[in-house]
Chains A and B, each alone.
Chain A
Amino acid sequence: MRTPDETLPVAEVARAGWRPGTWLLIILPVALLAAMVVLFLTGGEGLIGKPPIPPDALLKIEFERLVFRPGEVVATVRNTGPDEVTIAQVAVNEALWQFAVSPSPSLARMQRATVTIPYPWETGDPVEVKLITSNGLAFTHKVDIAAETPRPSLRTLGIFALLGIYVGVIPVYLGLLWFPFLKRVREEWFHFFLSLTAGLLIFLGVDALKEALEAAGKIPHAFKGVGIILIGISVGLLGLMAVGERTMGRARAGVPGGERLALAYLIAAGIGLHNLGEGLAIGAAYALGNVALGTFLIIGFTIHNTTEGFGVVAPVAKDRVRLWHLVALGLLAGAPTILGTWIGGFTYSAVWSILFLALGAGAIFQVVYELLKLMTRDARERAGSLANFAGLILGLGIMYLTGLLVQL
């Protein structure tokens, strides 16, 4: 007699088996595609005639890093064009200058090179580096305010860690300090504050998305920035959803109020991911020579992270929470900033930065969803009450205003 398992359609396929011929069926289209590509590259151009765009015009060199050391400027560049390119001359601030390229002035596709230029740059001055290729094309990168780049060393490791603590960890704990206030607040106000949290988080998520899109616009097209964003958001969203299912589900079944604590942890995780991206941005600002930009970022992130701390603790405001939970929440939300600053400062890669920003955005959107779910389940009033609406708008408004303050 057939078991229930055996009657399922899936079982039918599984029983059909993995014959050797199956591999051929998978490989065949791929092989044919490869053959077509090879054919076109080796002679098929005759099929459509010579392309109207002279291939030289598509050549491209992009700057990945610009490092300032005493008396020299070091640029890390990559050939992101379709063909080999040779660096023939270098001009700094519109003057042809001495330079050395390693490993070689001729860059193959996607190959990197380091251009070392002995140049008497001055702190605070703008520096524009222009690379001129053997066929006369020019590629420039400008730093508005030159400043010495921090060298990887125990000291700078410590500085970046301190930076991460100052920007990420401490502000989150500051936000957590609202916990006692929230405990005294009346039941009705609790949902107002949850909505406020939702507003904060929505703003944060959209802001992170906007930064990811901006960064995607600046990276070489070959890396397909928007594709990275899509992947990042999906993974962040679905990833946190999966984590949420497990933790919230288990929490729901277990300790009363455990659901809200789980939500607090989810929020902290989402914000933590986002802060990883923020740390990358700060580190990168230093790496690309934009120290002044880094300073603005620091102020902005510090203020935002304080409001994020509030968002982390809001869901558990009405519960009794052990102190070590609060400590753990703060670390989960804030500590990734340190990691991000290290990565961004020493081995910055625009691609990873975009990925983490998108991850953070996806995670945050998922968290907002969970928060709203919690509110509608918990509420005695309807979710769309005036208090909730006001809270949401206020949350958005606070983030907007604090953002404005940073621009001054």
Chain B
Amino acid sequence: MVHPNPTHYMGSRPAPTDRQAPDALDPMQILTAFDHGKVTRLSNGQIQREYTLTAFDREIEVAKGVKFPAWTFNGSVPGPTIRCTEGDRLLIHFRNEGAHPHTIHLHGIHPADADGVFEVVPPGGTYGYQLTAEPFGLFLYHCHVMPLKKHIHKGLYGAFIVDPKTPRPPAKELVMVMNGFDTDLDGENEFYTVNGIANYFAEHPIPLQVGEPVRIYLVNTTEFDLINSFHLHGNVFKLFRTGTSLTSYEITDTVMLCQGERCILEFSFKYPGRFMFHAHQSEFAELGWMGMFDVRPRAQRA
């Protein structure tokens, strides 16, 4: 069992040197990787999931040839996608190996000591977040230490999925976290990306099949810009805002999100070929927030 640490500084260790993640996560991996945690069943029948999130500083590539000194959860920006089912007991072991104090602030319903605001974890410190996952929907987590702009922008965020008790219909599920990088620290983003590298999915199109149901968990963690957006070519999607309802909000091909907002998109392609998806702020699209689906004809293996 993990005991939460007291809030005040106990003195900090000297900053640990940058370390490599065990396997460097790239945007394609983040697209389809879900961390379901270590699953155990409690005596009362409840499912318990344990996650380990470690914050550490790491230099990442945010566009071809451009490095950025990021603060990461488990070595990637965005951090791992935490996934669970409504009603599960969650234990998040947080270890701070960065050079600055951090926390993990989860969106959702939970007690105050699992909110990740007042229990600031110093470098070298640890904390355990204990909560029951509710309600179902698409949420996110991020660091909540001041200055907020900096702690979020440096890369400490990730998606947090709480599945409804009755699972959603089967589909090819993709996680897309929209973000930006201000590499020269002038208060404006130089690059906009999905899952961490500018233009990545434009250069590595995502393979899909005609008729295959697709579900995108879309999260906006872009700093400095008021809003971001997602536009899909050649198709429309069912929009589930925040994913907290099983009835779709509307059917559209463009959705606008402010920072912290998220939504679930469901669609399937009718025609084969390459279809773009990108922000409909053209400026963001031209600065790296551009991707493509490579839709193969039915029954052709990717």
Query: A residues bordering B, Cβ < 8 Å?
Result: 86, 88-89, 91, 94-96, 105, 132-138
Q: Can you list the 10 inter-chain pairs with the closest CB atoms, starting with the nearest? A: A136-B183, A88-B65, A95-B286, A138-B184, A88-B66, A137-B184, A134-B65, A89-B63, A94-B283, A136-B184
Smallest CB separation, B200 vs chain A (Å): 13
A135 to B183, CA, bound (A): 7
A105 partner residues in chain B, CB cutoff 8 A: 65
Nearest B residue to A136, CB-CB: B183
Cβ-closest chain A residue relative to B68: A136
Shortest B154–chain A CB gap in Å is 12
Q: Which residues of A contact B65 (CB under 8 A)?
A: 86, 88-89, 105, 134
What separation, in Å, do the CA atoms of A89 and B190 have in the docked complex? 10
Between A and B, 8 residue pairs with Cβ closer than 8 Å are: A89-B66, A94-B286, A95-B283, A96-B63, A133-B66, A137-B183, A137-B184, A138-B190
Complex formed: what's the CA distance from A243 to B288 in Å? 63
Tally A-B pairs: CB < 8 A.
51
B66–A96 CB distance below 8 A: no
Task: Please tell me if the beta carbons of B66 and A134 are within 8 angstroms of each other in the complex.
Answer: yes
User: Given contacts A96-B198, A96-B199, is CB(A136)–CB(B286) below 8 Å?
Assistant: no
B186 pairs with A138, CB closer than 8 A? yes
- Residues 63 to 93 of chain B near chain A (Cβ within 8 Å): 63-68
CB distance from A9 to the nearest CB of B (A): 62
Q: Does B256 contact A (CB under 8 A)?
A: no
A88-B65, A138-B183, A138-B186 provided; 5 other pairs, C-beta below 8 A? Answer: A88-B64, A96-B191, A96-B287, A132-B183, A138-B190
Bound complex: CA A136 to CA B283 (Å): 18
Determine how close the nearest CB of chain A comes to the CB of B153; give it in whole angstroms: 12
B residues less than 8 Å from A134 (CB atoms): 65-67
Contact of A96 among B67, B68, B286 (CB under 8 A): B286
Is the CB–CB distance between A96 and B186 below 8 Å?
A: no
Contact B287 A95 (CB under 8 A): yes
CA distance in complex: A233, B35 (Å): 71
The CA-CA distance from A135 to B64 in the complex, in Å, is 11
Residues on B with C-beta less than 8 A from A95 are 283, 286-287
Most chain-B CB neighbours within 10 Å: which of A89, A95, A133? A89
Give the chain B neighbours of A94 by CB distance below 8 A. 283, 286-287
Closest chain B residue to A139 by CB distance?
A: B184
B7 to chain A, nearest CB (A): 30
- List residues of chain B with CB within 8 A of the CB of A86: 65
Q: B46-69 toward A: CB 8 Å interface, digit per residue (1/0)? A: 000000000000000011111110
Interfacial chain B residues near A135, Cβ < 8 Å: 66-67, 183
For B199, the chain A residues whose CB sits under 8 A away are: 96
Q: Is the CB of B66 within 8 A of A136?
A: yes
B230: shortest Cβ distance to chain A, in Å? 19
Please, which residues of chain A bring their CB within 8 A of the CB of B64? 88-89
Cα of A174 to Cα of B137 in the assembled complex, Å: 83
Query: Whole-angstrom distance from the CB of A127 to the nearest CB of chain B?
Result: 15
Closest Cβ of chain B: how far from A121's Cβ, in Å? 15
Which residues in chain B, 179-226, are within 8 Å of chain A measured between CB atoms?
181, 183-184, 186, 190-191, 198-199
Interface centre among A95, A96, A133, A135 (most CB of B within 10 A): A96
Distance, CA A136 to CA B64, complexed state (A): 11
Q: Smallest CB–CB gap between A264 and chain B, Å?
A: 55
Contacts of A138 in B (CB 8 A): 183-184, 186, 190
A136/B67 in contact, CB under 8 A: yes
Q: In the bound complex, how far is the Cα of B66 from the Cα of A134, in angstroms? A: 4
Give the residue of B68, B181, B186, B287 whose beta carbon is less than 8 angstroms from that of A91. B287
Give the complex CA separation of A138 and B184 in angstroms.
6
CA distance in complex: A251, B222 (Å): 78
**Closest A residue by C-beta to B192:** A96
CB of A193, distance to nearest CB on chain B (Å): 56
Q: Are A136 and B287 in contact (CB under 8 A)?
A: no
Complexed CA–CA distance, A386 and B39 (Å)? 102
Q: How far is the CA of A96 from the CA of B64 in the complex (A)?
A: 11
Which residues on A sit within 8 Å (CB–CB) of B186? Answer: 138
Return the chain B residue nearest A92 by Cβ. B286
CA distance in complex: A88, B197 (Å): 14
With both chains docked as a complex, state the minimum distance between the C-beta of A94 and any C-beta of chain B, in angstroms: 6
Q: How far is the CA of A105 from the CA of B64 in the complex (A)?
A: 13
Q: What's the Cα separation between A134 and B62 when bound, in Å? A: 10
| Whole-angstrom distance between the Cβ of B282 and the nearest chain A Cβ | 8
CA distance A162 to B288 in the complex (A): 47
Residue of B nearest to A94 (CB): B283
| Whole-angstrom CA separation of A94 from B180 in the bound complex | 14
